[in-house]
Structure 1
Amino acid sequence: MDRKGRAQEKALCTEEAVQVLQVSYVQAGGQGAKRTWQDLYYLSEVPGAVRETQLVCQYIYLYIRAWRREMFGYITVNKDTLSEENKKIYQSYYCGLCQTMKSQYGRRAQMALNYDMTFLIVLLTGLYEPDSVTRDGFVCSVHPTKKRTLRTNEITEYAAAMNILLAYYNLIDDWKDDKSLTKKTYAEMLKKDFEKAKKGYPIQAKAIEDYIARLAECEKSNDTNIDAVAGLTGEMLGILFAWKQDEWQKDLKEFGCYMGKFIYIMDAYEDIGDDVKKKSYNPLIQLMHCCNNDQEKFDKSCRLMMTSMLSEAAKIFERLPILLHADIIRNVLYSGVWSKYEYIQMKKRKKHK
């Protein structure tokens, strides 16, 4: 497919387009449709798939790729300040997670891959230093022209399961909120993988399930206590970060709690403009009113809260006996996590030009 064709495909990638195309394709008898690699990406994992599903899957693929950017993607590195060696190490863990998700759950699971769980692998590997397997010269279907290095260990499998649990619950919650057909479809595709991950890690699955339910209650009651609401994300992520019940459990749980609070506040900060327009729930709206709608004052207040969360997380990290990958972790905590904030500011500046 040429560049123009790909652009047209992206432009049509909406829930409405998927529904319209599905109906029209069935009415046309499924004749004349062209198969693409996006078709094959899913059809090998969907037993008994019918012809009309092929076209829909092309658009689901594109929609989910955009959705991935929305879901739990704030804990990442700043590549500009990372050494070449550490870039390769970080990328190897990311690729290792991707391939582990494929081997454990199938190709469809790879679409839920995110950077937050890559950070979890780097953090826990730095602390526990488990034996890792490195594979050089790997070529994947997504990047067929580049040879990659994969790095995996027992923590990678744990992170892959957490990735599936988070993705599934997030999709179901989004489906309840906005009735997105695409997200519901992808959730159904992940259902079997979700059940497998849930069976292996029932405590973590229960923590995420309770978190979603409690957050929904806050939305219904329009709770404006930002610390309490953000704390729900913190509690949940704290349980996920505490990989083992050992001497490091308390610190890891507390570390995850502060990172979870940071993620929630950053996400609410990014969405506040749209939430105000749509009259959707966002606990930061009350803070904006308290700032008399002064954007500069509001921005400073939000940044102060996020800085406070990261400061506490950094204190915990610095007292942990981590030497392996310490530079990568510091890059994330002191620089990488602010990449999204700077991106938000850049969008605001462009908007007001």
Structure 2
Amino acid sequence: MFGYIVVNKPELKFKEFDIYQSYYCGLCQTLRNQYGLKAQVSLNFDMTFLAMLLSLLYDVPTKKVHERCVIHPMKKHDKLLNDCIDYAAKMTIVLAYYKCQDDWMDERKPVKQIYKKMISSPYLKIKEEYPKKIKVIEENLQKINAYEKENYDHIDDLAGCFGRVMGEICTYQDDIFYDDLYEMGFYLGKFIYLLDAYDDIEEDIKKKTFNPFIKDYQQPDFDERCHALLEMMIARSANAFECLPITENVEILRNILYSGVWSKYELRKMKRSEDKK
């Protein structure tokens, strides 16, 4: 369930995209510095959003470096480093660990088990640092797996589990921002789960694997009903986001929440429409 919380690049100014990229590169650098090259494989745009959101909200001391890297050897570029980006890197490892575990259970691909073992040491250290948070994440991901094995397709319960996962991930500290961050993350998590199911429906039908939308897929208003559900979830997430006192570079975050998150939905809907023709 990665890759949905992205920017709508054509709608950003060049300067805005450079700022967003500096968080992405900072997260990449942090993963390498803290956990080695193996951790960089887990880099994703979803946690870049979290890194930027928390950095701007908490206004933490931030170091900017301007340098080349292995991926971009020809040109120097900015990287931002701070405590919030460190936290986002830790949550990246946690999500990658459970993604490998889930993929191994579903598809039995050895590469997933190998990568899980490669990042198990940093994951266990993070688990020691955030025992309550990891416990909630673990319990809800296990509940999703149990529901799927039982072919339990109550969409709100399933999406709610991943909502609680993202709610925990988005809450950085137990402070005045906790409730708004949790609500934003909760509905963002539900949106991600629903969009992932919508995105995978044809493949899941072909492979005969679980998808909560299988019963509804043949309905003539399937796309419209899914869009309504997704719109409801992201609207609740955005409402909570707007309660946070972020002013600097807030338009980049709004670009992601109001536009970027719909990118894969629009691509899938377009492809589905073309296939039907």
What is the TM-score of this pair, normalised by structure 2?
0.96
Partner of 1:335: 259
* Higher normalized contact order (CA 8 Å, seq sep 6+, divided by chain length): 2
Partner of 1:178: 107
By how many angstroms is 1:263 displaced? 0.2
**Quick one: structure 1 residues 145 and 351, their matched pair in 2 at CA, closer, same or farther if it must change by over 3 Å?**
farther
Code of the residue aligned with 1:276 in structure 2: it is I
- Kept in 1, the 8 Å contact 2:52–2:85? The answer is no
The aligned residue for residue 227 of structure 1 is 156
Larger Rg: 1
Q: Percent identity?
A: 45
1:350 shift after superposition: 4.7
User: Shift of the alpha carbon at 1:352?
Assistant: 4.3
- Give SS of 1:167's match: helix
1:85 equivalent in alignment to 2:9: no
Unmatched 5+ stretches in structure 1:
1-70
Amino acid at match of 1:190: I
Aligned to 2:238: 314
Contact 2:137 2:164 in 1 (8 A): no
Poorly superposed stretches of 4+, deviation over 4 Å: none
1:22-33 equivalence runs, <5 A = none
266, 269, 273: which is aligned to 2:198?
A: 269
- 1:294 matched to 2:219: yes
For residue 65 of structure 2, give the secondary structure of its aligned residue in structure 1: strand
How many angstroms apart in 1 are the aligned matches of 2:10 and 2:28? Answer: 23
Q: Which amino acid aligns with 1:300?
A: E
Is 1:75 the counterpart of 2:8? The answer is no
Q: 1:237 aligned to 156, 166, 169, which one?
A: 166
Residue equivalent to 2:118: 189
SS for the counterpart of 2:78 is strand
- Map of 2:97 onto structure 1: 168
Q: Tell me the amino acid that sits aligned with residue 190 of structure 2.
A: K
2-side partners of 1:94 and 1:73: how far apart? 13
The aligned amino acid for 1:316 is A
| Partner residue, 1:119 | 49
Contact 1:166 1:208 in 2 (8 A): no
Looking at structure 1, the residues matched to 52 and 77 of structure 2 have their Cα atoms a distance apart, in angstroms, of 18
Which ranges in structure 2 are unaligned for 5 or more consecutive residues? none
1:319 counterpart SS class: coil
Over the aligned positions, Cα root-mean-square deviation in angstroms equals 1.3
Matched, 1:250 2:179: yes
Q: Deviations over 1:95-118 (max 9, x none)?
A: 000000000000000000011111
Helix, strand or coil for the counterpart of 1:314? helix
Residues of 1 paired with 2:41 and 2:138: CA distance? 21
How many angstroms apart in 1 are the aligned matches of 2:154 and 2:276? 30
Q: Aligned letter for 1:112?
A: S
- 2-structure distance, mates of 1:172, 1:247: 34
- When normalised by structure 1's length, the TM-score is 0.76
The CA deviation at 1:349 is: 4.3
- Cα distance in 1 between the residues matched to 2:121 and 2:38: 11
Measure how far apart 1:126 and its partner are.
2.0
Amino acid at match of 1:294: Q
How far apart in 1 are the matches of 2:238 and 2:41?
Answer: 30
Task: Measure the CA separation in 2 of the matches of 1:246 and 1:135.
Answer: 30
Shift of 1:207: 2.1
Give the distance between the partners of 1:223 and 1:93, measured in 2 at CA: 39
Match of 1:128 in 2: 58
- Aligned-partner residue type, residue 181 of structure 2: L
